[in-house]
Amino acid sequence: MLRPRAAALLVLPLLSALACQGAEQQPPPAPKGKPARAMDKKGEAKVEGKEVEKKASQAADAKAFVDRVDSELRALAVAASKAEWDKNTNITDATEKAAADANEKLMEFMAKTIKEATTFTGSDIDPETARKLHLLKVTGSPPPAPGDADKRKRLAEIGAKMEGIYGKGKACEGTKCKDLGALEDIMASSRKYDELLKAWTGWHKIAVELRPLYQEFVGLANEGAAEIGYKDLGELWRAGYDMSPADFEQETERLWTQVQPLYNKLHCYVRGKLGDKYGKDKVPEAGLIPAHLLGNMWAQEWANIYPLVEPFPGAASLDVTAALKKAKYDEVKLVKLGESFFTSLGLEPLPATFWERSMLQKPKDREVVCHASAWDVDLNDDLRIKMCIKINQEDMVTVHHELGHNYYYHYYYKLPVLFQNGAHDGFHEAIGDAIALSITPAYLKEIGLIKDVPADEKGLVNLQMQDALEKISFLPFGKLIDQWRWDVFSGKTAPEKYNEAWWALRAKYQGIAPPEDRPDPEFFDAGAKYHIPANVPYTRYFLARILQFQFHKALCEAAGHTGPLHECSIYGKTAAGDKLKAMLALGASKPWPEALAAITGTRQMDAGPLIEYFAPLEKWLDEQNQGKQCGW
Ligand code: X8Z
Ligand code: ZN
C-alpha cells in the first residue's frame, strides 16, 4: 500500500491510495473553444499556432511536474513507511510521535501537490502523465489533510494514536489482562455462550476510548477532502476505481446482489445449527444470529464453528491445523510453504532481507500491531511481513494473502512510485487469496501434509462447507464496513448514531445482532475492528473476495485444468504464473479493466466464478433449507 505499503495507518493507505484510480479516470478534457474573435484566416492561424505552443509547453510542464513529484513523493513516503514500521513493531509514545511527524510531512506535500496537479488540464498531456495526475488526485491515503497546519498536525496525531490504542488494546479483569490474540482464541474455540460473551464484550470495550478521536478524525479528513474538490472522504475513496463515485456505489450493489442469495442460504443453515446448539431462545428460528456465536470476534469469517455445522459428521473432512501441528510447522516454515507455492509458478524467491527484517512472531518484550500486513518499506523491494503468526489453517491462508501483496510489490517496484500500486485496491487484496484457493486436498497430499484426499460426495460437501464458512460468510461484512463509513463521512449518520447505524447495517447485510443492548454514545463497536481506527478502506476486501475466484478460474484455464473449479490447483503450473506476473507488473499503470482483461479476458468484475465454485454446496444447502423460513 502506498503507504508504506502496509496496512499501516496513514502510510499504508497512502500507497494503496496512490494505486487507486479515481473518479476522473480519464485524462481531463482539454479546454474547449477557439481563441476569441479570429479576424481572418491568417490571424486565426497565428492565434492557433500560439495556442498549440502553449499546449505543448503545458504538456511538457505537466510531465516535468509528475517526474518531480515522483521523486519527492518517494523520499517522503519511504520516510513515513520507515516510521510506520517502527511504530507498528514497537508501539511507544516516541514511535507514535515519529510516525505522526513523518505522516504530517507526507500529508503536507500531498495536499500542496494535489492542488497544483489540478492546474494541468491540457489535452495534449501524454497518457502516462495524465494517468499519474489522475492517480495523485484520487489518493485517499493518507487522508487528505486540511491546509491549516495545526489541523494537519492534529489529523496525523489522531491517526497514530488510534492505531496505537487498538494495537495495545486488552480486556482486563483486575490485573489479569488478555490481548486480542488470546480473546480471538476464545472466540474460535469456546462453545460456552457466556464465556464467548465475556470475550466479545471485553474486546469491544477497547473501542469506547476511540469514539471521540474518530469523530474528530472524520471532521478533519472531510475538511481535507473538501479542499481538493470532494464532498467528503467517502466520495474520494469511491473515486479510486476508474469510474464515477456514484457508478462505483452501484457496482458494489450489483456484485452484492449476485452473491446475496448464496449468503442467505448459508446463513439459514448455520442459524438452524446454532439454534440446535445454543437453544432457540438464544438463536431465534427466523431472526438474527447473536454476533458472538460465529467463531470470530467480528463474525466476519465463520470457519471456526465448522464442527458445529459439519454437513456429514464422520465423513471425510480436512483438519489442516492438526496436520500443520503434527508436521511441526513453525512461523518460518509456514511462510516458506507460502513462498514455495509462488516459486512453483515460476515467480522469484523472496529476497534475503525479507527473512532478516520481517516480524513473524509476536514479540514478548513490547507492544506491536498484530494485525497482519505486508510491506515494501523502501519502495525498492524491501519486502516484509508483520504478523503474529499462529500455526493454524486461518493463518496459513493469511500468510498466502500477505505474500500476494509482497509479490505484487516485487513485480512493480521498478515502476514510477505513482504506478506502484494494484490495478485497484481489490486486486491487491485478491492475489494471495487466489493462490490460496489452490490449497486443495490434492495439493496438501502432494506436499505430504495429509494422506488421503476425500473422494466421495459427502467429503466434498464437508470441504465446501469449510470453504464457504471462510469465503461466503465474509461477503456482507466486506460490503457493510464502508457502507457505514460512507454514511459517517457524508454526515448521513450523525455521531450520536454511530452505534445504531453500525448495528442496523450488521442486521441488514449479515443478519446478525449484538449479544446485548449496545446504545450510543456508550459504545463504539465499529471501532473494535482494526480498519476503522487504522483508516484502511474496506470495500477492497469485498471486491477481492469476488475477484479472487475470477483470477483462480482464469489461472486454472491457463494451467490447462478441465474439471470442476473447486478441484483446481495451479501448483507448479508456470503458464499460470506467467499470466499472473504479467498482470502484477502492470501495477496501476493502466485502468483496472485492462489489468483484469490481461488475466481473465473480461473487463467486468463478476461473481459468476465464485458461484460456480460453490455449486455443489449450494445444491446441498437448497435441500437442507427446504421448508425452513430463511431470511430475517
Ligand atoms: O486485513 C486483512 C489482511 C491485511 S490486508 C490481513 N484482511 C481483512 C481483515 O482481516 O479484516 C484480510 C481479509 C479481510
Ligand atoms: Zn491484505
Question: What does 244-303 look like in DSSP terms, one character per residue?
Answer: -HHHHHHHHHHHHHHHHHHHHHHHHHHHHHHHHHH-TTTS-TTSPEEGGGSSSTTSS--G
Q: What average pLDDT does the segment 4-11 reach? A: 36
pLDDT-based confidence at residue 19 (cuts at 50, 70, 90): very low
Position 402, amino acid: E
Rounded CA separation 157/217 (Å) = 10
Q: Is the dihedral of CA 145, 148, 153, 155 positive or negative?
A: negative
15 lines ligand 1 (CB under 6 A): no
Ligand 1 within 6 A of CB of 372: yes
Residues 6 or more apart in contact with residue 158 via CB below 8 angstroms:
213, 216, 217, 220
Ligand nearest to the CA of 387: 1
Mean pLDDT over all residues of the chain?
92
Q: For ligand 1, atom 6, name the residue with the nearest CA.
A: 372
Tens digit of pLDDT for each residue in 174-231?
Answer: 999 999 999 999 999 999 999 999 999 999 999 999 999 999 999 999 999 999 999 9
Amino acid at position 332, single letter:
V
Give 414 Cα–ligand 2 centroid separation in angstroms.
Answer: 21
- Residue (of 445, 453, 524, 457) closest to 484 by Cα position: 524
Instruction: Please report which confidence band the pLDDT of residue 5 belongs to, taking 50, 70 and 90 as the band edges.
Output: very low
Sign of the dihedral defined by the CA atoms of residues 231, 232, 236, 237, in that order: negative
Any ligand 1 atom below 6 A from CB of 398: yes
- Check if 358 has its Cβ closer than 6 Å to any atom of ligand 1: no
Q: Is 541 in the pocket of ligand 1 (CB under 6 A)?
A: yes
Which of ligand 1's atoms lies nearest the C-alpha of 300?
11
Rounded percentage of the chain residues whose pLDDT exceeds 70: 93
pLDDT higher at 454 or 506 = 506
Q: What angle do helix axes 210-227 and 498-505 make, rounded to 10 degrees?
A: 90
Strand partners, 384: 375
Distance of CA 347 to the CA centre of its chain: 23
Please, which pLDDT band fits residue 33 given cuts at 50, 70 and 90? very low
Closest Cα to atom 14 of ligand 1:
541
> Could you identify the atom of ligand 1 that is nearest to the CA of residue 429?
5
Query: How far does residue 404's CA lie from ligand 1's centre (Å)?
Result: 12
Give the residue ranges of DSSP H helices in 89-146.
93-117, 127-137
Ligand 1 mutation target, pool 475, 541, 546, most atoms within 8 A of CB? 541
Q: What is the CA radius of gyration of the chain?
A: 25
What pTM value is reported for the model? 0.93
Contact 3, 77 (CB under 8 A): yes
The string of DSSP codes covering 437-475 is TT--HHHHHHTTS-S----SHHHHHHHHHHHHHHHTTHH
Half-sphere exposure of 367 (CA within 13 A, CB side): 17
Q: Distance from the CA of 473 to the center of ligand 1, in angstroms?
A: 14
Task: Give CA–CA dist 494/513, Å, rounded.
Answer: 21
**Contacts with 187 (C-beta within 8 Å, 6 or more apart), sequence order:** 196, 199, 200, 292, 295, 296, 297, 304
pLDDT at residue number 28: 33
Question: What torsion do the CA atoms of 273, 279, 285, 291 make, to the nearest 10 degrees?
Answer: -80
Question: How confident is the model at residue 111, as a pLDDT?
Answer: 92
* Closest ligand by atom to 543 CA: 1
For residue 37, what pLDDT band results from cuts at 50, 70 and 90? very low
Please tell me the number of Cα atoms within 13 Å of 536 on its side-chain side. Answer: 28
Contact 157, 93 (CB under 8 A): no
pLDDT at residue 23 tops 80: no
**pLDDT for position 363:** 97
Nearest atom within ligand 1 for CA of residue 405: 5
- Is the pLDDT confidence value at 554 over 80? yes
Question: How confident is the model at residue 46, as a pLDDT?
Answer: 67
At residue 304, the 3 state secondary structure works out as helix
Tens-digit pLDDT profile for residues 349-391: 999 999 999 999 999 999 999 999 999 999 999 999 999 999 9
Where is average pLDDT lowest: 122-136, 259-273, 477-491?
Answer: 122-136
Distance 372 CA to ligand 2 centre (A): 8
Cα–Cα distance measured from residue 603 to residue 135, given in angstroms and rounded to the nearest whole number:
20
Confidence check: pLDDT of 602 > 50 = yes
Cβ proximity of 616 and 464 under 8 Å:
yes
- CA–centroid distance, 150 to ligand 1, in Å, is 33
User: What pLDDT sits at residue 16?
Assistant: 35
User: Is residue 32's pLDDT more than 90?
Assistant: no
Q: Answer whether residue 143 shows pLDDT above 60.
A: yes
From the CB of 7, is ligand 1 less than 6 Å away?
yes
Question: How confident is the model over 484-505, as a mean pLDDT?
Answer: 98
d(CA 474, ligand 2 centre) in Å: 14
DSSP letter, residue 567: G
Distance (angstroms) between ligand 2 centre and the Cα of 541 equals: 8
- SS3 of residue 374 by DSSP: strand
Residue 401 CA to ligand 1 centre (angstroms): 8
Question: Residue 42: what pLDDT?
Answer: 57
Q: What are the cell numbers at 154?
A: 492534529
Give me the sign of the Cα torsion angle 558, 561, 565, 567: negative
> By the 8 A CB rule, do 197 and 516 touch?
yes
Ligand in nearest proximity to the CA of 539: 1
User: For 609, left (φ over 0), alpha (ψ -120 to 50), or beta?
Assistant: alpha
With cut-offs at 50, 70 and 90, classify the pLDDT of residue 561. very high
**Grid cell digits, residue 205:** 470495550
- Residues with Cβ within 8 Å of residue 327, at least 6 apart in sequence: 448, 449
Over residues 131-158, mean pLDDT? 93
CB 521 within 8 A of CB 496: yes
pLDDT of residue 47: 66
- Grid cell, residue 334, equals 509456514
373 lines ligand 1 (CB under 6 A): yes
Lowest-confidence segment of 115-124, 270-279, 482-491, 524-533 by average pLDDT: 115-124
pLDDT digits (tens, 9 = 90+) for 224-247: 999 999 999 999 999 999 999 999
Look at residue 346 and tell me whether its pLDDT is greater than 50.
yes
Ligand 1: nearest atom to the Cα of 541: 14
* Shortest-distance atom of ligand 1 to CA 398: 6
> CA-to-CA distance for 59 and 107, rounded, in angstroms?
26
Answer yes or no: is pLDDT of 15 > 80.
no
Q: Is 542 in the pocket of ligand 1 (CB under 6 A)?
A: no
Whose atoms come closest to the Cα of 538: which ligand?
Answer: 1
pLDDT given at position 26: 35
Neighbours of 151 (CB within 10 A): 15
